[in-house]
Amino acid sequence: MPSEKILEQKKQQVAELSAALKESCTGVIVNYKGINVADDTKLRKQLREAGSTYKVVKNTMLKRALADAGITGLDDVLEGTTAIAYNKDDYVVSAKILSEYAEKSKTFELKAGFVDGNVLDAAGVKELANLPPKEVLVAKALGGLNAPITGFVTVLNGTIKGLVVALNAIAEKQGAEA
């Protein structure tokens, strides 16, 4: 049986992980089996530069932290070697980086993930990875909002242009009569 000191340390680690998961908008759980140190270092650096946190976690500790964070439905994937990457700001970046690495590796695999507390399976994580970056999505949304306004301005310009042409024709006709 573990000592009280070790139990307290583990409780503290679970509490810290749980708090981080509550603040995160997305998380990806992977099986990191077979990754070598050089690739792991490169992968961690990529994730850190993208604003994600990547940790190797014991399954029981992650199970408790997920439960404390209110994320349920991931217990069945918490077997074998497990690591989690989570991000507070970007919904796509962790999934994108880990999915790219999983495609290159034969042993590294995506297990599952979550977005705003909703559980995703491995296929859902791959779909999330295929989404364009946030900036592109915002630009598309703004373009969609801008399109009706542009159309309205074009219609108004056409109406005004038609009025100007009609007035010009009337002026020319009256000038020719005089």
pLDDT at 34: 82
Distances 78 to 53, 66, 93, 116, 131 between C-alpha atoms, Å = 18, 11, 22, 19, 26
For the packed helices 93-104 and 37-49, what is the interaxial angle rounded to 10 degrees?
160
The pTM for the full model equals 0.73
Strand partners, 169: none
Residues of the chain predicted below pLDDT 50: none
What's the CA gap between 139 and 151, in Å, rounded? 18
pLDDT at 1: 60
Residue 91's SS3 state is coil
CA 160 to mean position of chain CA atoms: 46
Residue keyed to tokens 């992977």: 30
First to last CA, the chain: 113
* Structural contact between residues 140 and 147, judged by C-beta atoms closer than 8 angstroms: no
Q: What burial letters (b/e) apply to 116-138, b meaning 16+ CB within 10 Å?
A: ebebbebebbbebbeeeeeeeee
| CA quadruple 100, 87, 58, 111: dihedral, nearest 10 | -40
Residue keyed to tokens 């306004």: 149
